[in-house]
Structure 1
Amino acid sequence: MRLEPDVILANRLADAAGEVIRPYFRQLTSVEAKPDRSPVTAADTAAEEVMRRILKQDRPADGVIGEELGFERLGAGRIWVLDPIDGTRAFIAGRPIFGTLIALVVDGQPVLGVIDQPISGERWIGQIGSWPSTTLNGRRVQVRPCRALAEAHLATTSPMLFSRSGHAAFARIARASRDTILGGDCHNYAMLASGQLDLVMEEGLKVHDWAALVPVVAGAGGVMTDWRGQPLRLGAMGAVLAAGDARVHAEALERI
């Protein structure tokens, strides 16, 4: 699959979103709550709007799923999935570990993903079906080997986001791992792709939370599935497990 034109477009989307987001960073004057009680800011909405304008001009036949502004043309074979600020709580707190997530989904499968951190200027881009393909600012990155869960550095955004049964599964894995890092949102998956973490486990994610992460992790040589070990496609439940080493992924699945 030839994705070079889409990579160019994804970079333009990330550039445009970053230009909108940066002036708001540590300058927010108000925060609103969505119906699910999660926070949203003017930066979230404005960044998604600018990306949608570009897509409307350059890819008018493609579908769009966005966290803030809903969906268009869900029946299209190509769908762009946008999360203008993944980690809005971190953004509100002035912590530069949030990210803009951009994914291209073709026939239900994420094939291109971008994690962009507009404050640090770090951008990870990954593609499915080509390894190694994930880059950080144009330089190839890859996961690190990890022989066993007992040696793994595990990360999750917050244990409070798990269901009761999900939290029990997470606790089993956390007790068996070397240590646990909390916080990070999409940044955890970028660090896994760069060889800094070994395992990320989360529950309750929506498609805009995980679609861009799958190609970044896979393109760096990692594995990312749902908790049953199945590939993540449109319609998948939001319980995800990402690992740099397939041996750790398999061991964690057993404990789930």
Structure 2
Amino acid sequence: MTGDLQTFADFAGELADRAGDFIRPLFRQPIEIVSKADESPVTEADRGAERVMRGLIGERFPDHGIVGEEFGAENPDAKWVWHLDPIDGTKSFITGSAQFVTLIGLTRYGKPVVGVINQPVNGERWLGVSGRPTVFNGRAVTTRACADLGAAALYTWGAECLEGENGPALRRLTESVGLRRFSADGYAYGLLAMGFVDIVVDDDLKPHDYLALAPVVEGAGGRISDWDGRAIEFGVGARTLACGDAAIHARALELLRG
């Protein structure tokens, strides 16, 4: 499988390149914004970038499955399945902020083995491959030590999450850290892998949101799980906790559980 993973990791880079080529010319340009059924925004940048990636996968690996944010699932029970979020952080994209990323994850029998977090405007790319060190633009990166929850820097998806169903749990955790920030989406997990952030916590994620993240975080020395402490895999990760230092992961889980 080692040879396969290298082939697939290289191909994931190609997908990120081609998606980025589609997205960049549309950034900070007039573009139609449509509301989806769940009232989240979508643009032709989202849809077009996913079409590009789907086309490449179909040409190169026609027996692989694809699950994408914009166009659903094809062959989702395959051994190898690509999970695509062409623009994670569409609200950032449409407001001219470069805190959005393309997420590309590959699972083998539902378990994440390759993950890419790609910021196409700034030229930033994190690549995680199961069993290997995470690299950022070709160089290895690691999380930082932070055993004191009170000194930790935390990101979560938005201030409004503190008022939702999981609000009490998230408030317990966010009020226990030294610094909290909002609205970085998948970009925050890349910052954690580089040692700039200590905790990222999210809820209400879909597989295309979280499967690319696990290889990146784990390959940098971090710990990522769902709120029950289970390893991330397809169907497990809607509520995600990532910590750069495993020493604070257990305490953070305790706070989330109440």
TM-score (norm 1): 0.97
1:171 maps to what in 2? 171
154-163 or 216-225, which deviates more: 154-163
Question: Aligned residues, how many?
Answer: 254
1:71-86 superposed matches below 5 A: 71-86=73-88
CA distance in 1, matches of 2:43, 2:28: 12
- State the Cα RMSD in Å: 1.1
2:56 maps to what in 1? 54
Q: Deviations over 1:230-249 (max 9, x none)?
A: 01111125100000001111
Q: Is the 8 A contact 2:106 2:115 kept in 1?
A: yes
Runs in 1 of length 4+ with deviation above 4 angstroms? none
1:97-176 superposed matches below 5 A: 97-130=99-132, 133-161=133-161, 164-176=164-176
Q: Could you tell me how far 1:163 is from its partner in structure 2?
A: 6.6
Structure 1 alignment gaps of length 5 or more: none
Does the C-alpha gap of structure 1 residues 194 and 231 become closer, same or farther in structure 2, counting only changes over 3 Å? same
1:234 maps to what in 2? 234
1:246 maps to what in 2? 246
2:29 maps to what in 1? 27
Alignment-mate amino acid for residue 121 of structure 1: G
Q: Could you tell me how far 1:164 is from its partner in structure 2?
A: 3.6
Structure 2 alignment gaps of length 5 or more: none
Q: Is the 8 A contact 1:127 1:218 kept in 2?
A: no
Does the C-alpha gap of structure 1 residues 107 and 162 become closer, same or farther in structure 2, counting only changes over 3 Å? farther
Q: Deviations over 1:190-242 (max 9, x none)?
A: 00000000001110000001110111000100011000100111112510000
Tell whether 2:208 aligns with 1:208: yes
CA distance in 2, matches of 1:172, 1:119: 35
1:92 maps to what in 2? 94
2:192 maps to what in 1? 192
1:2-21 superposed matches below 5 A: 2=2, 3-21=5-23
CA distance in 1, matches of 2:35, 2:60: 32
Q: Deviations over 1:109-129 (max 9, x none)?
A: 011000000000000001122
Q: Could you tell me how far 1:75 is from its partner in structure 2?
A: 1.3
Q: Is the 8 A contact 2:210 2:237 kept in 1?
A: no
Q: Could you tell me how far 1:98 is from its partner in structure 2?
A: 0.2
Q: Is the 8 A contact 1:162 1:203 kept in 2?
A: no
Q: Is the 8 A contact 1:154 1:177 kept in 2?
A: yes
CA distance in 1, matches of 2:134, 2:237: 25
> Helix, strand or coil: the match of 1:176?
coil
Percent identity reads 44
Q: Could you tell me how far 1:65 is from its partner in structure 2?
A: 0.3
Q: Is the 8 A contact 2:142 2:221 kept in 1?
A: yes
> Helix, strand or coil: the match of 2:208?
helix
Q: Is the 8 A contact 1:161 1:204 kept in 2?
A: no
Q: Is the 8 A contact 1:162 1:204 kept in 2?
A: no
